[in-house]
Amino acid sequence: MLISDKYKIGFIHIPRTGGGSMKQAIISADKTAHRVGIYHQPITVKLHNDYKDYHKFAIARNSWELIVSFYRYFVEKKNLGIPFEKYIRENLPYKKSRFPHQLQYLKYEDRLLVDEILMFDNLKENYRRLCQRMQMPCYLTSRVHYTGTGNAWQRYYNKDTKDFVYDLCKEDIDYFNFKF
């Protein structure tokens, strides 16, 4: 979790949700911001309690779009030549993390341990409002690790892969009401 003691915020970084850009924005607003725990670590009850007076937030992204971003970042950008369907069926859920299950980064049992979840599809506006509430400067200007999917992520899917991702990410898709 990235902590800003100056603004009393904690940011939980879910992979491929714009977290690199968010971390850059927070550090631009508070040069003393620091990480607690390991990179891409889910929030724990201990972290939640240790920072109970801090506004803890994360970013969530449409699950189908998230998986295309992951594929583009780890397969296409490296020219590995692995077809999308083969890659997702053989590699999801990602073996070394909770990815792509976003709520698993934010919950303990059935309890949500963050105060706010910003949606990726309207991130700049959501972050601007957060900055106003927290009375901090808003420096979210660039995209770090941008994969360039834009609205083209749907072209990666056929009915089978769409259903595969729905079954895999059902909890997130239903909770956030993501649409294909």
List pLDDT tens digits, range 25-49: 999 999 999 999 887 888 999 999 9
Question: Mean pLDDT throughout 151-166?
Answer: 93
Residue 127's closest CA among 35, 53, 34, 28? 28
Which neighbouring-strand residues pair with 111?
Answer: 108
pLDDT for 79: 80
**CA R_g for the chain:** 16
- Most confident stretch, 5-9, 80-84, 152-156: 5-9
Q: In CATH, what number does 2-176 get? A: 3.40.50
pLDDT for 25: 94
Domain ranges in the chain are: 2-176
pLDDT for 149: 59
DSSP state of 43: P
Burial of residue 98 (number of CB atoms within 10 Å: 0-12, 13-18, 19+) = middle
List pLDDT tens digits, range 59-74: 999 999 999 998 998 8
92/70 Cα distance (integer angstroms)? 10
Distance of CA 44 to the CA centre of its chain: 16
pLDDT for 92: 81
Is pLDDT at 147 greater than 70 in this prediction? no
* pLDDT top residue among 105 and 143: 105
Compute the 3-state secondary structure of the chain and give helix, strand, coil in percent, each to the nearest 5. 45, 15, 45
